[in-house]
A and B are shown apart, each in its own frame.
Chain A
Amino acid sequence: MKRYYFIFLLILVFSIGAFGQSNWEIIEKYGNPKDYPDQDTIILYANHDVTFEADGSFVSTIHELVKILSPRGLKANSTQEVSYTKRYQDVQLLAANVYHENKTVESAPESAIKDESIAETQQMNIFEENFRKKTVNFANVAVGDTVEMHYRIKSKALVKDNFCSVFPLQSFDPAKIFKITINGPKDKPLHFLVKNGTAQFKQEENNNRILYTWDAQNVQPLKKELGMASPTDIAQKLIVSTYNNWEELSKYGASLNVGKIDSSPQMIKKVKELTKNATTEKDKIRNIFNFISTEVRYMGSSMDVGAFLEPHPASFTFEKKYGVCRDKSVLFISMLKEIGVKADDVLVNVTVKVDPEIPNIYFQHAIVAVHLNDGSKIYMDPTLELSTSFGEPYVKGKYVLNLTPEGNPLELVPQGKPTESTGRVTTQCSLNKDGDNPCESLKLKAEISGSGIYDLQLRTLGKQLPGFGMGLVMQQLLQRSDPNVKIIKVEPTDPIDLNQPFKISLEFEIPEYISQLGDVYMMKLPLGQFQLDLLLGITAYQLSRIPERLYPIFVFTPMQSETETEIHIPDEYEIVAYPDTLTFAESPFVLDVKITEKTKNTLTFTGTFSWSKDYISPQEYQTLKALMKKVDKFSRSMIILKKRS
């Protein structure tokens, strides 16, 4: 999902936006570290000043004073960076100073200011020297000092004839003063909203211009939590836009696609080739989708960076066989058009929520709405190389914006069901005599498979960990409870072949599995910790390690897992006891674990676990904790055997 963040990064770069008191006065007044014993830095002052014009161009002036309180704060702030895009923007550094505790001020010399390409995009297969940052390295900065950055970004219009942006008013550092001023033409009034908090607002009109000012003071810091929802969803923020409604934005997005949904003889030939053996509409769509998702690779080169990233023509993407999400979506729409299937370009956020109140360009990803002949509509994501879903489950419960010439409103897709993304672990195991060793070993054969997002996760694992890697992962998962487990075989099917179900077949052995205690024998419940279950044994286990949470956990989409283990005990043993049934049903979680005696020497252990939401609230987290405590106790319980007389 890393590639989605890039678009967000660009938008933030573009959205970045003086005062009566002197810097020293602010440092004196607000910079008392005793107020924040556990923080790395305090934002003493952050002022974003934006002036936008009717054509959408704008100038942002940013002025920040950050006081450093800890070694980690020092590490994070001794180098400051300003990201920008060379094609669209110019950066001018107005001041870069360190205010020392001993009341001296030191300016960063010219030699400390560098301009370099952004290395982080390289991980997303985007090599563009136009994506750049200016870095300022502060000499002699120490804990207790205050760093000042003051710079101006001049930007061409990102959205023609409009302006919209999101300004964070809260971060992981406490802030004394957050100030945002926006100056815009009167005939382009701003719609705005302060979300997740409050800020003082005032508005002044002068010479056909309007000056909007927001002030937020003493803003408390966010806290980091494993698996937490995006800080963008939680933080106090200001959303602004000159768009009157989502329909206008939808129309604008569609206007960027004009002339891009084209065709070529090679494309037509390819569509015919892909669909010639397909008899149903679904198969035809599926074959085209599989072609684009697997053979047109995700790669950023010669990217345009206006709002929504203006796509390349479909014929260009088809010929070059690479593109970003906007390119791949447009190609998919064009190829579907060849078989008479109508489709729309759609914007969606994958890891953050859309704020429906104010129309904004802040979208992470482009996908496609496919209109089927039966009148239904599904959302498909041709950027995902390994998706086998006919309609992406992750889009459900999220806001989407269809880009249409007539303009669409923002639409909330109904929430999906856990069963749409189900994982399944089936295991056969038996106790076997282990040579002369009096203790039997346990031999297991397991198969892991899934549907929907669960299948996508398994395939991603399969692709990232070919062959030997999968064995290593399985060994690690199983060793959590059985250190001397021996993996005999791990056979994943081809994760890239979207026409075949993906499954991981696994054979392993655990020597000396039972212990004799007088006339009683004990053994742990095989896979009783749900070690091979991505949902319960791995995700829920990892996320439930802390006592309480302040923020929701983002779990992507409703999901379910099913475990079925059949345990064969040799005839010479009698089953005396086995762990009790475990049931738990408290929204959004359901857990149902049963052990039954299938025959006198066969136990069947079945478990079903699900969550029915994409976000788990802090209150619901306590429910998860209670569930995990029961699971822990259950997994430490034993099967007790006796030898038949």
Chain B
Amino acid sequence: MRQPNKLNIKSLIFLLVILALFIPGHSQEMNLVQLLKDSTKADQYPESPVYHFYLYRQIERDNQGIIKENVDHFFQLLNQKGRDAHSNYRMTFNKESQTIQVNTSDSVLKEDKIAGVEKDGINDVTPPALSNAGMYANIVDRVYSFQQVQPGDGIHVRYTKQDLKQTGMPFSGCILLHTEEPGENLVYSISAPKKPVYRISGKSDNIEVAETDNRITVTVKSSPFLTPEPYTPSLEQRSPKLFFSETNEWSQILTPLQQDLETKATPTKAIQMCVKKVCQQAKTNTDKINAIYNFMTKEIKKVRIPVWLSGYTAHSADVVLNNRYCDPKDGAVLLLSLLKSAKFNAFPVLSSSTGTINEDIPNLDQYDGILIAVEVEKGKTLILDPFTEYKTIDFLHLIDSRTGKALKPGFPNLELPKCDSTIETTVRLNLTDEHNAQFHIHVSANGYCDMIMRQQLYYKSKEEQLKYFQTAAQKLVEGATLKNFTVTHLDDFTKNVEIDLDITSDNPTISQKHITFLTIPAFEIATYPYDLFLDQRKNDLSLPYPVKCVTRWEIAMEKTNHILYFPKSLTGKSQDFTTRLTFQFNEGSGTAIFEKEIKNLKNRYTPEEYAVLKSDLSNLDHWKNNTILWEKAKK
């Protein structure tokens, strides 16, 4: 049995202070104006839109299993951007299973004035992500529009969100302890009749914990400001987290979900008819899985809402099929149902895109994706992502943790496979006549790179594809003419996309004095997919997926040209990021071959590691390294 916690005086006082903040009717308004007047946050954080002076979140589960959350939040709008982006305060809730009661909604103005929100400024609106997704119309944003706030003013909101009935699931969760913007006094309090087990990931001196018999209170003294940069790890990836759970048993958490998914995925007549239609041409097991996967990818729209928001109770496969759109769990139900209907042995697998899993604290909120494992034949299992758009069958995207949790008896962990992500481009350039250059370009891609190319092309008509490649040709050489293009396998998500282009140009080279030169451009649709243009970084670099990009130019030139300059071969210094450039010129045949390779071997780089790889990239891309200069033979 756990021993009662011994509280020292310091933590007792601290706890009393925290509890006092939650006494109904407690008000800090008297101090808020002064807090704003004394605030120097706008000068301290000129690039942040707001500063959170305090955020108290108290989540409690009562004896009946009803969960109630009290929030008390006060923040300052530091500039016009803060006013424009944060003066419409959103409180997302499920109107079918929750109530929301706003107790305080004050604009705290610098000129010693507190103004409320007018009746017209309170609206229940559809969250933008759920527009046209009526199946999830139960989720709404109650928006309080603080019409009168100006930069420098504050917003104070207190509200209570309460479940209408018990969920039937053990009380558990994962709370991000930092905020997107800088702040202080972030206090999270969890209570239940029996105190939940908990763990804090990324704990530091900045975080204090106090416990009583049934309550855990976590105080974060300050939340840092991160200069936004491209590919900065998301708040979910970088924030310390509080994991809590009423139970030590994963089975208690996972069994209700597994049962719900299995029940909802039970094949019905409509599902059977759908499978029959989709698989009518399929002969082998692989054909059937391919056909079902293509159907899921092409015909079921994806609604990007997190599972924790829409709830862990899925819609039935019939409902999902009828609506033709899904969130992650509903997509899993439909795919599972289709596969079961096609007589496959299949089961769901939970996955995470935001970090490794804390096994000690059974908790569904650690996962944000649901995959489906399907046995293709005895001993051969394929893992499919039902919540997929533009992705080939073997590619699992947004999987930060490579360990999934199988929703089958015993709930074993499952290793999730990786697949290659490569983009390979070959440019054959015939430059024997400088006024009539001919390019033939072949591009092939797989994994993440295939997905990027499909995103660009999938919903384009032939005519729009023509314009797209014409534009790419123009970026190759101004005034170039696209003669022909083909795109292969764009509509088949079980094969990789390939592109072939024929381009001609009447001015690929420049001649000045006796020198002629060709600048080798980056071909627009086939470059390294991550735009790492920052000279240096303050934050870690977080790339979606390791990829390899190889570009090869084969240039047939006039044999009599005298080459003055060509790029030097080089290899980068970074350990986890390879860059390679090779150049060969065969004077006898007049053929120049130029090959460039970029490859990131991992997803995450520190700023120091970034400095090395940026240096490698700069060397690789430096214009003069990509320029060939030659002197024409005197006639």
Residues in chain A within 8 A of chain B (CB atoms): 37-40, 70-72, 74-75, 78-79, 81, 112-114, 116-120, 122-123, 125, 127-129, 135, 137-142, 223-225, 295, 297, 299, 301-302, 320-322, 463-464, 466-469, 472, 475-476, 479, 481-487, 496, 512, 515, 517-518, 520, 522, 524, 544-547, 576-577, 625, 628-629, 632-633, 636-638, 640
Contact = CB atoms under 8 A, between A and B. Distances in A.
B474 interface: yes
B607 to A, nearest CB: 14
B46 A486 contact: no
Contacts of A576: 513
Contacts of A39: 461
A139 B564 contact: no
Contacts of B534: 472, 475
A141 B478 contact: no
Contacts of B125: 117, 119, 122, 127, 129
Given A74-B299, A122-B125, A321 B622 contact: no
B301 interface: yes
B388 interface: no
A78 B300 CA distance: 10
Contact of A129 (B123, B147, B148): B123
B134 interface: yes
B131 A224 contact: no
Given A112-B134, A127-B145, A301-B145, A75 B474 contact: no
Given A135-B134, A577-B513, 5 more contacts: A120-B128, A127-B143, A302-B118, A484-B618, A512-B624
A629 B623 contact: no
Contact of A119 (B126, B150, B321, B535): B126
Nearest to B477: A632
Given A139-B323, A481-B623, A116 B126 contact: yes
A51 to B, nearest CB: 30
A487 B79 CA distance: 26
B145 to A, nearest CB: 5
Given A120-B131, A224-B464, A483-B621, A636 B324 contact: no
A484 B301 contact: no
A618 to B, nearest CB: 15
A78 B461 contact: no
Interface in B136-174: 137, 143, 145, 147-148, 150
B43 interface: no
A481 B519 CA distance: 11
Contact of A70 (B124, B131, B461): B461
B356 interface: no
Contacts of B130: 119
B228 A517 contact: no
Contacts, number: 189
A305 to B, nearest CB: 13
16 contacts: A38-B462, A40-B461, A74-B299, A75-B459, A112-B323, A297-B84, A301-B118, A301-B121, A466-B46, A515-B565, A520-B515, A545-B471, A629-B478, A632-B479, A640-B512, A640-B515
Given A71-B459, A127-B88, A487-B535, A117 B507 contact: no
B524 to A, nearest CB: 10
Given A135-B132, A636-B519, A466 B533 contact: no
Nearest to A475: B533
B147 A299 contact: yes
B166 to A, nearest CB: 26
Interface of A is mostly: mixed
A198 B323 CA distance: 40
Report the 9 A-B pairs with minimum CB-CB distance, sorted nearest first: A114-B134, A632-B478, A484-B618, A483-B621, A302-B120, A139-B322, A119-B131, A545-B471, A72-B459
Contacts of A116: 126, 131, 134, 137
B552 interface: no
Contacts of A223: 463
B564 to A, nearest CB: 5
A467 B47 contact: yes
Interface string B222-237: 0000011110000000
A486 B459 CA distance: 38
Given A70-B461, A472-B534, A547 B470 contact: yes
A472 B128 contact: no
Given A119-B131, A483-B623, A466 B81 contact: yes
A321 B564 CA distance: 68
Given A301-B118, A546-B470, A628-B478, A517 B535 contact: no
Contacts of B398: none
Contacts of B37: none
Contacts of A125: 84, 88
Interface of B: 46-47, 79-81, 83-84, 88, 118, 120-121, 123-128, 130-132, 134-135, 137, 143, 145, 147-148, 150, 227-230, 298-299, 301, 321-325, 458-459, 461-464, 467, 470-471, 474-475, 478-479, 481, 491, 507, 510, 512-513, 515, 517, 519, 531, 533-535, 564-565, 617-619, 621-624, 627, 629
Contacts of A322: 147-148
Contacts of B135: 137
Given A38-B461, A75-B301, A515 B624 contact: yes
A321 B512 contact: no
A115 B130 CA distance: 12
A470 to B, nearest CB: 11
Given A484-B622, A545-B475, A637 B535 contact: no
B232 to A, nearest CB: 11
B618 A517 contact: no
Contacts of B121: 127, 301
Contacts of B474: 544-546
Nearest to A74: B299
Contacts of A141: 324
A200 to B, nearest CB: 30
B277 to A, nearest CB: 9
Contacts of A496: 80
Contact of B148 (A40, A320, A512): A320
Contacts of B126: 116-119
A113 B83 CA distance: 36
A137 B478 CA distance: 46
A518 B134 contact: no
B300 to A, nearest CB: 10
A547 B120 CA distance: 51
A517 B629 contact: yes
B535 A475 contact: yes
Given A129-B123, A142-B299, A546 B617 contact: no
Given A137-B134, A483-B623, A38 B463 contact: yes
Contact of A79 (B128, B132, B228): B132
Nearest to A514: B624
A74 to B, nearest CB: 7
The interface centre, meaning the residue of B80, B127, B478, B618 with most chain A CB atoms within 10 A of its CB, is B478
B323 A137 contact: yes
Interface centre among A225, A322, A475, A547 (most CB of B within 10 A): A547
A138 B134 CA distance: 12
A302 B121 CA distance: 8
Contacts of A81: 132
Contacts of B118: 301-302
A524 B623 contact: yes
Nearest to B228: A468
A467 B46 contact: yes
Given A128-B123, A466-B47, A297 B323 contact: no
A533 to B, nearest CB: 17
A546 B565 CA distance: 33
A476 B535 CA distance: 10
Nearest to A515: B624
Nearest to B132: A79
A629 to B, nearest CB: 5
B123 A295 contact: no
Contacts of B124: 117, 129
Contact of B623 (A114, A138, A482, A632): A482
